[in-house]
Amino acid sequence: MATTTPMPLLSTHARDRPRLVALALAAVYLIWGSTYLALKWMVEGLPPLLSAGLRYLLAGAVLFAFCRVRGASAPTARQWLASVPAGLGLFLVGNGFVTLAQRDVSSSFSAIVCASMPLLLAVFNRVGGDRLARLEAVGLLVGFAGVVVMTTRELGAAPASASLILLAPVGWSLGTIAARRLAQAPGLLGASLQMLAGGAAILVCGALSGESLPSGQVPAASIAAFFYLVVAGSLVAFSAYSYLLSNTRPSIATSYAYVNPVVAVGLGAMLGGETLSGRALAGGALVVLGVLLVVRARAR
């Protein structure tokens, strides 16, 4: 069967690149920063794992259909298999654990701890053979010190949920490495396969854990949050992130890690009635500073 050449999903003209990069950055900064509060609202009326699994299956199916309509070739069996480790790390662990934990911890706390992802990515890359610059090592120490400061109290108040939040950026980091090192389908088609693999795995875990869809009336806020996460959080922001990874330096693409917590804390305070202790704010500042140092070192 003859294959077709995929049509570009976004303009590739050099003149349009600065504008598209700016739009993509705005999407990952603002949308991903807001998804933590949206997750909090979603799990107030919907089962966490089943709703998260449906979110990614729906978003992945829409993105897959869009790519195929635009001329992308059908993925090979090898590309389907390569999407599984990335999907499990990014979505089952990286997002599924956050969704579960949001029942007990604030969206602001979740966002700040998850901002440590670039720190873990640097550690795993070092284990894989990459050299660690001096500034990068300083950033790791500062950032992980901030995580310790932040999570000490939460581990005592809600140990299971706090532990899940700590594991979530580990999954996202390993999923990112798998997505880079395994032969993924090109462009957004690869992202759609990862969403489908991760969404299916989350659904299976939800079913095995005994979750079921509610039979009574579901709060309107939970339903609205679910569709916001599907459209904005998964389709728009993840597509924007994929574009940034392909068209900018990694230091720019991962800069969301120290912007998202600021957005999440602001929205949590204004719309979610959340407050953070001085200890948590101090730890969060150390996390953001550590990430900034690591990203700056890798940019050099």
Q: Is 227 inside a domain boundary?
A: yes
Q: Is 150 inside a domain boundary?
A: yes
Q: Is 1 inside a domain boundary?
A: no
Ordered per-residue pLDDT tens for the chain, 300 residues? 333 333 344 545 556 677 888 888 899 999 999 999 999 999 999 999 999 999 999 999 999 999 999 988 999 999 999 999 999 999 999 999 999 998 888 888 888 888 788 778 778 877 766 777 788 788 878 888 887 877 777 676 678 888 898 899 899 888 988 888 888 888 889 889 999 999 999 999 999 999 988 888 899 999 999 999 999 998 999 888 878 877 777 667 777 877 888 888 888 888 888 777 777 778 878 888 887 787 777 666
Q: Is 271 inside a domain boundary?
A: yes
C-alpha separations of 220 from 47, 151, 230, 234 in Å: 15, 32, 16, 20
Number of domains in the chain: 1
Q: Is 241 inside a domain boundary?
A: yes
Q: Is 7 inside a domain boundary?
A: no
Q: Is 120 inside a domain boundary?
A: yes
Residue ranges making up the domain that contains 89: 18-212+219-299
Element (H, E) at 159: helix 159-181
State the SS3 of 209-257. Answer: CCCCCCCCCCCHHHHHHHHHHHHHHHHHHHHHHHHHHHHCCHHHHHHHH
N-term to C-term CA, the chain:
46
